[in-house]
Amino acid sequence: MRMVTQLVAVAVLFAAAVPLAARFVPGSRPWLDRAGLLAPLAQIGVLPAEAAVDGGDQGGGQGGGDTQVVAAPADIQALRDVVTAIGSAEGARSVVLLPEISGRVTAIHATPGERVEAGAIILDLDSGTAELMVARAQLVFDDAQATIRRMERLAGSGTVTDLQRQDAELALRTAELALRTAERDLADHSLRAPVAGFVGLIEVQPGDLVTPATAVTRIEDRSSLIVDFRVPERVASLIAVGDPVEASPVSQPGKTIAGRILAVDNRVDEASRTLRAQAAIGNDDDALRAGMAFRITFAFTGGDYPAVDPLAIQWGSDGAFVWLVRAGKAERLPIRILQRNADAVLIEAALRPDDLVVTEGVQSLRPGAAVTVIPGPRS
């Protein structure tokens, strides 16, 4: 009795599954047609009457007609590897000003945001003692010069020995060095801009005591910017100095600035598996600032590969494949996907020059089925 019940249940399920398959799985219609079930299902209204005719034609020549598909030859396109990275910008030249000596600030000659030339005085330190040392060294130097002149006048009388003359010349050179040292010490009491650029915030005021460790301000030459960023190690052998890049400020996504690779590090960071690089970008309108974040984009062009419509890509248990039309027959071809673009997929496959890649009608194909290529909607 139990077996009878099970057989009845199987029959009920089969009776329900067959109409559903015929209506919603077009690929099952050739099988149902060969089993003699397709026409009766059309007669009782389970599926349209024309489906009974079309279903018999999807059998690859066994039902009286070829399967109709849309197919086209594969295009050939270059493989482009686009890399995007985020980096921070610095001025082409950027210098933090530190005093050479300790001292008290007496005057500030620059204002934040002002552009200064190289050598411009930014601030002065109390230089009273240094000025006195210069004056003293000047007196000693002048006296040494006067001694040499007296000896030159007495040289003909024989009253000046060679040893005296040598001592006088040594004293002159020593006084000259002492004067230059005093003048250098006096110059150190004025903090000058080593490069041309814009003055940053000044961190001291007149009366403050500063030391060589006191950061007074930063001079930034932002006529061009250098963006420091990192790229994955897979492109380490491809990136080179001089390669073009596009930079876009993160704060201004619609703005794009052309630039070039300025420098590439000589080793990959072992922790992050990235390579450090720098790109130079222009800033002629002075609209950009150091410290801004930029999105750096650059592309590498590789070899040429077949490009197919994304609709042609199918997946099976063994990976991706496409359907081909070869000599009027359907053939399944395994592929390896190299790159996905908006309108095409670059693949690696054993394609022949006369192969047609099927883009529509793939659900009705099986290996060896006879096919007819029809114009597609884009033709």
| pLDDT value of position 142 | 94
- CB contact set of 297 (below 8 Å; sequence gap of 6+): 82, 83, 84, 245, 246, 247, 248
For the chain, percent of residues with pLDDT exceeding 90? 55
337 vs 74: CA distance, rounded Å: 14
- Asked if residues 60 and 54 have their Cβ atoms less than 8 Å apart, the reply is no
- HEC readout, 33-89: HHCCCHHHHHHCCCCCHHHHHHHHHCCCCCCCCCEEEEEECCEEEEEEEEEEEEEEE
Residue 291, by phi and psi: left (phi above 0), alpha (psi -120 to 50) or beta?
left
- Asked if residues 211 and 99 have their Cβ atoms less than 8 Å apart, the reply is yes
Overall pTM surpassing 0.75 (yes/no)? no
337 vs 319: CA distance, rounded Å: 10
- Output the six-digit token pair for 111: 């204002």
Assess whether the region 84-91+221-302 and the region 127-188 belong to the same CATH fold.
no
Can you name the CATH fold of 127-188? Helix Hairpins (1.10.287)
Most confident of 24-38, 70-84, 365-379: 70-84
Q: How sure is the predictor about 59, in pLDDT bands with cuts at 50, 70 and 90?
A: very low
Where are the domains positioned within the chain?
Answer: 2-65, 68-78+304-373, 84-91+221-302, 127-188
Q: Rg (Cα) of the chain, in Å, rounded?
A: 43
Q: What is the mean pLDDT of the chain?
A: 84
* Torsions phi, psi for 360 (to 5 deg): -135, 140
Kindly state the helix (H) or strand (E) to which residue 333 belongs, with its residue range.
Answer: strand 329-334
| pLDDT value of position 62 | 42
CA 74 to chain centre: 31
Across 185-209, average pLDDT: 94
| pLDDT value of position 118 | 93
- Sign of the Cα torsion 301, 302, 307, 312 reads negative
Kindly state the helix (H) or strand (E) to which residue 307 belongs, with its residue range.
Answer: strand 293-308
133 vs 114: CA distance, rounded Å: 34
User: 217-256: per-residue pLDDT in tens?
Assistant: 999 999 999 999 999 998 888 899 999 999 999 998 889 9
User: 301-327: per-residue pLDDT in tens?
Assistant: 778 889 999 999 999 888 999 999 998
| pLDDT value of position 24 | 55
Between 259 and 57, the higher pLDDT residue: 259
Three-state DSSP class for residue 102: coil
67 vs 169: CA distance, rounded Å: 111
Superfamily of domain 84-91+221-302: Efflux pump adaptor protein, beta barrel domain (2.40.30.170)
- Output the six-digit token pair for 64: 């009286």
Query: If you count them, how many residues does the chain have?
Result: 379
Three-state DSSP class for residue 177: helix
Query: Is CATH 3.30.2020.30 the right assignment for the domain spanning 68-78+304-373?
Result: no
User: 87-115: per-residue pLDDT in tens?
Assistant: 999 999 999 999 999 999 999 999 999 99
Dmax (CA) of the chain: 153
Q: Which of 296, 287, 232 is nearest to 261 (CA)?
A: 296
| pLDDT value of position 317 | 87
Judge residue 337's burial from the number of C-beta atoms within 10 Å of its C-beta, 0-12 exposed, 13-18 middle, 19 or more buried. Answer: middle
